[in-house]
Amino acid sequence: MLTITSRENPQIKQICALTSAAKKRRKEGLFVCEGFTLLEEALRRGLEPQAVYCLDSQAHRLPKLSCPCALVNQSVLEKLSDVPAPQGVVFTLPLPEPRKTLSGSRFLALDSLRDPGNMGTILRTADAFGLDGVILLGDCVDVYSPKVVRSAMGSLFSTKLYAMTAPELRQQLEGLGVPLYAATLAEDSRPVTQLDLKRSCVIIGNEAHGVSPETIACCNGSVIVPIQSAESLNAGVAAGILMWEMRR
C-alpha cells in the first residue's frame, strides 16, 4: 500500500482542489467524502470509491477495497480534511449525473437554496421519509460540497436528485398528475393542514428571498406552515414539516 508523507504530493493537491471548488469537481467527475461511517455507507449502497487516503494508525479499520489506497500521516490528513478534527479517512467517489425525468409522486423542490447545512438536512430528511426525489431549481448550493456531504450523513448516496427549470418541472408533474405548490408567506397560501400532500411536489425557496416570482408562476398554488409568533421558519425545518405531511 502506498504511503504519502508530503503535503505537496500531487494526489493530495488534487483532493484539496476537489474539496474547495465545484468547478474542479465537475471537471474531474469526482467528489470528496470523509470518515469511516460515510465510507461504510457508500460501500453498503454499492458505490465504489475511486481512491482512499487513510491515516496510517487507522489502517486496521479499512474494509476490503478494490480501489487504490494510500496511507497518510496526521499532517497530510489535516490538509485533506476541511474540519478541525479529521475523521481518519478521506475518499473520492464518482460524481453522478443529475436525473432529468421524474418518476414517482412525492417530491421536494429547492429554489436557489444556498445554505449547505439546510441542504444536507433536507437530503437526510427526504431519505428518512422516503420521498421520490429532490429537485434542484436555480442556483442551489453544490450538493457535493464537503459541508453538504457531511451534513447529509450518507443520505446523499440514496436520495434521487433531479436538476431542471421550473417550467420543465411543471410540465413533467402535469404528466404525472402531481400538483405543484410553493411554500410561501403569501396571504393566499393554504395552511398545510388543509392540503392533501400525499401526491405533490412542494418548493422551498432561497433562505433570504423565498421562492422566486417566476417559479411561483409555475405553481398550482401555495402552502404555508402556520406559526405563532416568529417571522418565518428555517428552510430545513419547514421542509421537514412539509415532507412529514407528504408521508402522513
pTM as predicted: 0.93
Determine the residue type at 226: P
Give the pLDDT score at 28: 97
Give the pLDDT score at 248: 87
**Domain spans, the chain:** 2-94, 106-247
Q: What HEC string does the chain produce?
A: CEEECCCCCHHHHHHHHHHHCHHHHHHHCEEEEECHHHHHHHHHCCCCCCEEEEEHHHHHHCCCCCCCEEEECHHHHHHHCCCCCCCCEEEEEECCCCECCCCCCEEEEEECCCCHHHHHHHHHHHHHCCCCEEEEECCCCCCCCHHHHHHHCCHHHCCCEEECCHHHHHHHHHHHCCCEEEECCCCCCEEHHHCCCCCEEEEECECCCECCHHHHCCCCEEEECCCCCCCCCCHHHHHHHHHHHHHC
- CATH number for domain 106-247, candidates 3.30.1330.50, 3.30.2350.10, 3.40.50.1980, 3.40.1280.10: 3.40.1280.10
Question: In the CATH hierarchy, which top-level class contains the domain 2-94?
Answer: alpha beta
Give the pLDDT score at 230: 84
What is the pLDDT tens value at each position of the chain, 248 positions in all?
899 999 999 999 999 999 999 999 999 999 999 999 999 999 999 999 999 999 999 999 999 999 999 999 999 999 999 999 999 999 999 999 989 999 999 999 999 999 999 999 999 999 999 999 999 999 999 999 999 999 999 999 999 999 999 999 999 999 999 999 999 999 999 999 999 999 999 999 999 999 999 999 999 999 999 998 888 899 999 999 999 999 98
Give the pLDDT score at 233: 92
Strand partners, 206: 210
Give the pLDDT score at 8: 97
